[in-house]
Amino acid sequence: MSQSLVRLIKIDKTAAGRRLDQWLAQQCAPELSRARIAKLIGSGQVRIDGKPVLEPRFKPPTGGEVELILPPPVAAKPKGEDIDLEILYEDADIIIINKPAGLVVHPGNGNAGGTLVNALIHHCGQHAAAGFGLSGIGGVKRPGIVHRLDKDTSGVMVIAKNDAAHGHLSRQFADHGRSGVLERRYQAVVWGVPSPPGGIINAPLARDPRERTRRAIARNDAGDVRRAITHYTILRQSAMGDGKAPAACLVECRLETGRTHQIRVHMAHIGHPLIGDKTYGQAFKTKINLLPESVRAEVAAFPRQALLAAFLRLQHPKTGAIMEFTVKPPPDMQNLLQALAL
């Protein structure tokens, strides 16, 4: 099995006042490009004096030592793997699945296999005689992928089986239902109860400057700022609380835009993070003290953000038929709802 290659580079006076990615590219030329080094930095593969540096523009201190970790090469194309899929609908143009929590959508850093793409390649290979394949628009590592769900978010996804279907579906998702029929609704279990009980969160998102894998509410006009709008409605409120307000509620969120971690960031932004969200809800973990002692342990043990892609409406890319798909919460989320009397 291939192992990562580690290079140690002393930081000399040639690095003074220069960006880390720029200086490393010079040190590693021609083997590594500046773009490749920037990706390594962003994925935590570069350390200075033992501490990870995640910002390419960081200016390294003279006299230190850079540890550059080069992951082993991976296959250019994902391989099919026999992974169970819950298929809600399938024809020669699209597949609709109910993605389970814990399943990564496509291969990437740290996830060379065991992804939804690997499962789809295997599934479609078994049905090749029927003309079932996957579109290539998304590239070799994202065949058929029109949209994504976070690893620990479950729910409805559509996959394109050919380029024509992919293009049609991509236009629907880009429009977000403003002029078409596409609609996505999510269900989230959040701490507290938003006020008012329904509203619009209009807050642009950008990459968190302190941690590149996170998103944050944009505070300025940085280059990666993206418009982000979420419509929310309270569905049910927990009977548990401190006597003044319920400890949690079930919220339906409808996306007007589809940004990475949008619902999770937006709900935390208004003070009601998703239960189980270790990335955006850590500052609110004391809210568990509002619950009766008998249910605290079960809620504290919930292993992921409590988020379900519950509903998807779209237009079939070939027939034009309007199709709707609804899924129920998976068992772990049902148990959470029951524990919270939701």
Calculate the CA 238 to chain-centre distance: 27
Please tell me the distance from the alpha carbon of residue 259 to that of residue 229, in angstroms, as a whole number: 9
Please tell me the distance from the alpha carbon of residue 152 to that of residue 174, in angstroms, as a whole number: 23
Residue 321 vs residues 131, 182, 245, 315: alpha-carbon distances, Å: 21, 12, 44, 6
Beta carbons of 218 and 240 less than 8 angstroms apart:
no
Please tell me the distance from the alpha carbon of residue 45 to that of residue 330, in angstroms, as a whole number: 35
Calculate the CA 104 to chain-centre distance: 9
Tokens of 119: 């499962």
Please tell me the distance from the alpha carbon of residue 225 to that of residue 213, in angstroms, as a whole number: 15
Beta bridge partners of 216: 206
Q: Which residue has the tokens 């990562």?
A: 4
Please tell me the distance from the alpha carbon of residue 290 to that of residue 287, in angstroms, as a whole number: 6
Nearest residue to 60 (alpha-carbon basis) of 69, 72, 51, 71: 51
Q: Is 150 a catalytic residue?
A: yes
What does 16-47 look like in DSSP terms, one character per residue? TT--HHHHHHHHHTTTS-HHHHHHHHHTT-EE
Beta carbons of 104 and 91 less than 8 angstroms apart:
no
Supply φ then ψ for residue 144, to 5 degrees: 80, -10
Residue 144: left if φ>0, alpha if ψ -120 to 50, beta else—which one?
left
Quick check: helix, strand or coil at residue 74? coil
Give the active site residue among 21, 150, 277, 332: 150
Catalytic residues: 150
